[in-house]
Structure 1
Amino acid sequence: MRLIYLLFLIFCLSSCKKKKEVNPFVVLSGKVDSEGVGFLTLFTNPRFKYQEQQELKLDIQVQKDGTFKDTLEITEGHYLLQFGNNKVNLFLKPGYDLQIKLNDRNISYEGKGAQENRYIKERDSLIAKVGGNNFYQYFSKLPEEKFLKYADSLEKQRLGVINKHGNIDLHLQKTEKLWANVEKAHKFQNYSFTRETIDTSYLPSKNYPNPLEELNINDEDLLNVGLFPMLIYSHFGAVAKDHGVDDWEYIVQDSFPISNPKIREVAFYTSAVFSMKSFEKLEEFYEKSQSFIQDNEFKEAITKQYLALKELYPGKPAPDFTLRNMENEPVSLKDFNGNIVYLDFWASWCKPCIEEIPAFKKLQKKYKNRKIVFVSIGIESKKESLQRLIEKHRLNGIHLYDPSKEKEFKAAYSVGGIPHYVLIDKFGNIIKNFSMKPSDPRIVNQLDSLLD
């Protein structure tokens, strides 16, 4: 009897174990009611990508009658399904058996995973309706009180859609709520300095909320929210500046508010990606990164950027170039030998670039008859848009535009953001790769000393 009981117990335990096993595959099937679609493309959604989600791009064959079916071994996360010129956001998880009907006007779901994707569809409709405003064109023009109410309203609308679909996957539910929270915090973080561009007398009120106040900044699920690393970068970067240290120095301190080692590592890495170019203690930073960072991909990326920046140290030869001017004539850096060269990387859509134009024109006028050349390099823009701005603002100097060489040229000068200024001496060597902008009052003293 005892033996029978033990055998029964073992059977029950093994049965329970089998029930807990998760199907590692996603079955994706359905029909496309759109002519000329021979295959679908599924790829990772870069906007909503989870931190541990795989990078993926694969094609799914569509039969002549429009049906398709494929069994996929993929990780949980957000994906884009493209058919023709249309893209559909999907949430997929091992074990799903999702049937989709697609056409140019609508999409519907059935099967396991349908509830989650009906939520995604409604979320995207809300984002399309209320999520198109940006800071420079909209939020910065709102008075503080109105802005705060509007940001709260957007969060509540997003949370309302999540709560309406309360029976969806719990992990998806949590990360989507965190998205709503982080988006509001991101707005709170960025409002102050963008508002100042509209109203120079603006100061935050005494009751202005701490952007991170409502977040548990040690919750690792926040790393599944794409905006979160940028939020902590901008927030703690400002705090580090108040403390008189570089971002990375503040992050490695024991007093840094984030104790979760994984989140601190992401904070350190994000700081490196966006601020390494301005670190005064570059060698010390790099040495610290090798012990502080555990993720090998992070280490490799930091090393690559560090080595590139070392090639742009003061005194190093400036990367040579031959680009086209607005008349399509070739212009080389060597053409300016014997002159100080002030490079300006800008774009037609870049408001901070355009805001520097008056100061840039003053610099050009001040040094009109001196041995200095001002070279503006238009990137990520259409030639016609640049030409209109050049004519509108009556810009002098040399204007270059060569999209065929843009990628390699930006990489050579480690251009991560714009405006980006570079100062080169009369021998063609780097003086400063991340030079002061034209509106910085210190630039005049520096140029005067170089021209003496």
Structure 2
Amino acid sequence: MKIKNIISCASLLVAVMLSSCSKYEEDDVVIKFKVENKTFETLTLYCDLSIREIQIDDNGEGECVLSDIDHSYASLHYGEESRQIFIEKKDRIEISFDGFDFIKSFKFIGAKERIVDYLNSFSITRIKPSDYQLSFSDFEKRLWELDKESQDLFSARKFQETFPVFYKMESNKIKYAYAQSLLMYPVGHSFHTKGNSYTPDDEYYNSIQKMMVEDEDIIGVMPYREFLKEGAYISYRNSEPSTNFYDKTLLKMKFFIENFKNDIVKQSMLNYLAVEYIHRYGIDNISELQRYYDTYVQIPELRKIYSEVYDKYDTLSFGKPSPDFNATDKDGKLYSLKDFLGKYVYIDIWATWCGPCRKEIPALHNLSKQFSDKNINFLSLSVDTDKDKWLNMINQNKEMAGYQLYLGNKSQFQKNYRVNSIPRFILLDKKGHIIKKEMTLPSSEQTIQFLNSLEGI
């Protein structure tokens, strides 16, 4: 099996590109778009861990060309709505929709039309919360009963002969979607029985182990990868639980290094874990992870993926110039980062709908008062979709500290800093260079100590 079957669309990892190419090879996947009543300038295609933005022109037309893909699930997003698709090499696809009603008007023309219809209409029967009250053996029995029901409904679609690759991937996607509930049973049982704790025994661990199979044909199936990832950690049944994500990642990598024989699956999982960690936490203090990676991941395509991710996060390391932004105050005046330089800059990325963000407002207010005579600017950037809600809050809440600016949702600044959750705090030096891309919260005692330690504060 070729490695491009494994990485599929992940070969485009995290590279956000505008797709306007009109020349393509025979094996390329070519998707042409026609949008009536365009309400957004771009469509976004998520394919495994990759993101590709497709520009829609003034005529409502766009094109996306994907190379080196054998087969992959993907999702197409327009604004906050999405549709699932499945692609294989040589596919020629036409997608059309009305921007005013993306979901209902969505039309897919191509060889995978039946698959796309299935993906956007079929859902498995979920396990009920009350099922977690069952004994583990009864819970597992119930789980596989539900799996059989869903597998029978899927098989009735008769994809096996026409689309054998998709059939195997989807069948395993269903199976491992259910299998993930096995991982949750100890916590779920305790919660839904109101404290009746469950201690995993040999029966539990054996059930997990049975599902830890090595199959390179389905390494592109997300539930399968996720099960392997979490199952690897659970397999260390005698280890002390760790709440440190880095330590957990290293343990999981060690499991695949020591226990998996299929080289493609092993290297793919090591790559998956390493990339996932960098996506979340960046590249600071990852020497042991890097050592594991360099020693055991040798497939060029996977190393290319890792390098692309690493290089992008390297732009956010200590001492690098911060990405810029454009944001407005309540009167509409435009500001950028240069307007706040000459002093340290403590940035708060927040939104009115975010409970944890609002919880930090009093602490940020007190922090700004404590450092009011110091060389530091406190800057809050709102990522609200509704600007009026932001205006109402800053006008009514007297504890809003420092400079209050409206950045808006899905800004380039958010993308550059990989802001996946808020609140997010960032600390820059007087020249706009990064000191901490993930600064501690205003309510943390460490924040005051760290700010006081800054030279020339």
TM-score, normalization: structure 2? 0.57
Question: Which of the pair has more CA radius of gyration?
Answer: 1
* Residue 183 in structure 1 maps to residue 140 in structure 2: no
Report deviation, 1:180. 1.4
Distance 2:321 2:106 in 1: 57
In 2, the alpha carbon distance for the partners of 1:195 and 1:330 equals 53
Q: Unpaired segments of 5 or more residues in structure 1?
A: 1-23, 26-35, 37-42, 58-73, 97-103, 134-138
Equivalent AA in structure 1 for residue 121 of structure 2: S
Distance 2:176 2:76 in 1: 26
What RMSD over aligned residues (CA atoms) do the two structures have, in Å?
5.7
Q: State the TM-score, normalized to the length of structure 1.
A: 0.58
Please list, as runs of the form range in 1=range in 2, the aligned pairs for 1:229-308 lying within 5 A after superposition.
229-233=225-229, 242=242, 246=247, 249-253=250-254, 256-276=258-278, 277-282=281-286, 285-286=289-290, 289-308=293-312
| Paired letter, 1:446 | F
- Contact 1:315–1:429 (CA<8 Å) still a contact in 2? yes
Structure-2 change in CA distance of 1:122 and 1:394 (3 Å): farther
TM superposition shift of 1:433: 1.2
Amino acid at match of 1:313: S
Return the alpha-carbon distance in structure 2 between the equivalents of residues 304 and 390 of structure 1.
Answer: 40
- 2:332 aligns with 328
Q: Unaligned regions of 5+ residues in structure 2, if any?
A: 1-25, 28-35, 37-42, 55-68, 92-103
Letter in 1 for 2:242: D
The answer to whether the 8 A contact 2:284-2:317 is kept is no
Matching residue's letter, 1:364: H
Aligned counterparts of 2:153 and 2:287: Cα–Cα separation in 1: 49
Matched with 2:23 is none
Matches within 5 A, 1:9-408: 46=46, 75=70, 121=117, 124-127=120-123, 145=132, 152=143, 155=147, 157-165=149-157, 168-169=160-161, 170-186=164-180, 205-206=198-199, 212-213=208-209, 215-233=211-229, 242=242, 246=247, 249-253=250-254, 256-276=258-278, 277-282=281-286, 285-286=289-290, 289-337=293-341, 339-346=343-350, 353-370=354-371, 371=374, 372-379=376-383, 381-384=385-388, 386-387=390-391, 396-397=400-401, 398-402=403-407, 406-407=411-412
1: CA distance, partners of 2:320 / 2:233 = 29
Identical aligned residues as a percent? 20
Q: 1:90 to 1:286 in 2, by over 3 A?
A: closer
Q: What amino acid does structure 2 have at the position aligned with 1:325?
A: D
When residues 436 and 187 of structure 1 are mapped into structure 2, their CA distance, relative to the original with a 3 A threshold, is farther
Deviation track 1:405-434 (CA, whole Å, cap 9, x = no partner) reads: 922x23543545554331223454322112
Partner of 1:40: none
Alignment deviations for residues 323-349 of structure 1 (CA, whole Å, 9 cap, x no partner): 323432222334334544322334567
Instruction: Provide closer, same or farther for how the CA distance between residues 161 and 433 of structure 1 changes in structure 2, counting only shifts above 3 A.
Output: same
Aligned to 2:11: none
Deviations 1:62-110 (A, max 9, x none): xxxxxxxxxxxx955668999xxx99867687999xxxxxxx899999x
Structure 1: which amino acid aligns with 2:328? R
For 2:285 and 2:297, how far apart are their aligned partners in 1? 17
**Alpha carbons 2:348, 2:426 under 8 Å: kept:** yes
Distance, in Å, in 2 between the alignment partners of 1:443 and 1:144 is: 44
Seen in structure 2, the aligned counterparts of structure 1 residues 431 and 144 have a Cα distance that, compared at 3 Å, is farther
Q: Provide the aligned length of Structure 1 versus Structure 2.
A: 369
Taking the aligned partners of 1:279 and 1:191, their CA distance within structure 2 comes to 33
Equivalent residue, structure 1, for 2:94: none
Q: Could you tell me whether the CA contact under 8 Å between 1:356 and 1:438 is conserved in 2?
A: no
Is the 2:340–2:377 contact (alpha carbons within 8 Å) kept by the matching residues of 1? yes
Displacement of 1:179 in angstroms is 0.9
Q: How big is the shift at 1:358? A: 0.9
Structure 1 residues 420 and 271, CA gap change in structure 2 (3 angstroms): farther
| Contact map agreement 1:356 1:437 (CA 8 A) in 2 | no
Match of 2:433 among 429, 436, 444: 429
